């Protein structure tokens, strides 16, 4: 199907037969797709998608074949190579292929590996970044991933390594000392170990933390907690992955910026959660 989008002022690329476009789908809310991803959905004749891609997004490619790649980020997946080679086969069969991955394909999504395999097999590719859960998911919880009064740096960390274990190569002391805000993907399974490592490295037990599950979807849930209580609170809450964990004082900004609560009619809890003084009156 060639149904590329037409908007004034932009030259929208055509997804040609034999090409693979590796696109981010964002964290869930279909409205967070990029226009390039929408353009791909309108033209693809096959879409290979991951577990974290919201099903309603596929409705935007009704004529395409939908193939579920069935892998969840963080789980050891022996089938990664199969997925990449399947993409190669589809390209060689002259299909217009959209490989749709949750969030951003190059952020803890193994998109780099898939792209590399495609290039090694001579398959022409286009990469379309997406909104990553660690940024967009926090924004939907009213948490700015950077905020001038809080952090001049942010560290994105995975809570799993390739074998599904807590990553042993991470230097938690260096992260604890050097990162004002730490955003953890795939952190639920090993939250006790991760929070313990940060506490051991000197981060305060009362440091604000947030756990945002199913961010940007209708099932989004936000748990506000502290580093010392996070693991216990998660266990008690029964919250399930996918979740983004955020460690740092930017979490406090949610008290002012929980815009979803405000849309539902609740006032901000605190207009100045960092105690920096209220903004001057406007003239
Ligand atoms: N490429 C993706 C990350 C894939 S790894 C991205 O850029 O967002 C999978 C992990 O991402 C999940 O375990 C979880 O930590 C996080 N994640 C993805 N979607 C999420 C969502 N809607 N809500 C919360 N966390 C999410």
With a 6 Å cutoff on the Cβ, whether 53 touches ligand 1 is no
**DSSP state letter for 103:** B
Q: Are 155 and 167 a contacting pair, CB within 8 Å?
A: no
| Residue 52 CB less than 6 A away from ligand 1 | yes
The catalytic residues are 50, 71, 186
Average pLDDT over residues 50-63: 91
Contact (CB, 8 A) for 73 and 105: no
Q: Are 92 and 67 in contact (CB under 8 A)?
A: no
Give CATH 3.40.1010.10 domain extents, the chain.
20-131
Q: Ligand 1 centre and the CA of 94: distance in Å?
A: 31
Instruction: Please tell me what DSSP assigns to residue 276.
Output: S
For the purposes of burial, counting CB atoms within 10 Å of the CB of 93, is it exposed (0-12), middle (13-18) or buried (19 or more)? exposed
User: What average pLDDT does range 33-61 have in this prediction?
Assistant: 94
Cβ atoms of 206 and 180 within 8 Å: the answer is no
Evaluate if pTM is beyond 0.85.
yes
13-22 pLDDT, tens digit per residue, is 999 999 999 9
Cα dihedral across residues 238, 239, 241, 246: positive or negative: negative
Is 100 close to ligand 1, i.e. is its CB under 6 Å away? no
Residue nearest to atom 9 of ligand 1 (CA): 73
Phi, psi (rounded to 5 degrees) for 222: -125, 125
Which residues make up the CATH 3.30.950.10 domain(s) of the chain? 134-263
pLDDT one-digit tens code per residue, 177-190? 999 999 999 999 99
Which is the CATH superfamily of the domain at 20-131? Tetrapyrrole methylase, N-terminal domain (3.40.1010.10)
Determine the atom of ligand 1 nearest the C-alpha atom of 160: 13
pLDDT digits (tens, 9 = 90+) for 95-143: 999 999 999 999 999 999 999 999 999 999 999 999 999 999 999 999 9
Q: Is the CB of 142 under 6 A from ligand 1?
A: no
**Third-level CATH fold of 134-263:** 3.30.950
What 8-state DSSP symbol labels residue 26? B
| Measured distance CA(179)–CA(174) in Å, rounded | 8
């Amino acid at each position: 199907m060639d149904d590329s989008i037409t908007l004034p002022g932009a030259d929208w690329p055509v997804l040609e037969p034999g090409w693979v476009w590796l696109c981010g789908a964002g964290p869930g809310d279909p409205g967070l797709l990029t226009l390039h991803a929408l353009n791909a959905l309108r033209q693809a004749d096959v879409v290979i998608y991951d577990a974290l891609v919201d099903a309603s997004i596929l409705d935007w490619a009704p004529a395409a074949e939908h193939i579920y790649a069935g892998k969840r980020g963080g789980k050891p997946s022996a089938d990664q190579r199969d997925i990449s080679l399947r993409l190669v086969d589809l390209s060689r069969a002259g299909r217009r292929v959209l490989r749709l991955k949750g969030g951003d394909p190059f952020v803890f999504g193994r998109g780099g590996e898939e792209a590399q395999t495609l290039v090694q097999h001579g398959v022409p590719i286009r990469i379309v970044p997406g909104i990553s859960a660690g940024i967009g998911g926090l924004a939907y919880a009213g948490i700015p991933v950077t905020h001038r009064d809080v952090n001049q740096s942010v560290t994105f960390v995975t809570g799993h390594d390739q074998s599904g274990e807590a990553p042993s190569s991470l230097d938690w002391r260096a992260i604890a000392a050097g990162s004002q805000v730490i955003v953890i993907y795939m952190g639920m399974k090993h939250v006790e170990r991760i929070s313990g490592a940060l506490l051991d490295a000197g981060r305060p037990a009362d440091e604000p933390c947030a756990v945002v599950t199913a961010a940007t979807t209708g099932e989004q849930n936000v748990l506000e907690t502290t580093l010392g209580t996070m693991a216990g609170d998660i266990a008690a809450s029964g919250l399930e992955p996918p979740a983004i964990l955020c460690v740092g004082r930017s979490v406090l900004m949610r008290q002012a910026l929980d815009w979803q609560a405000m849309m539902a009619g609740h006032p901000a809890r605190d207009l100045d959660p960092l105690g920096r003084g209220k903004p001057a009156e406007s003239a």
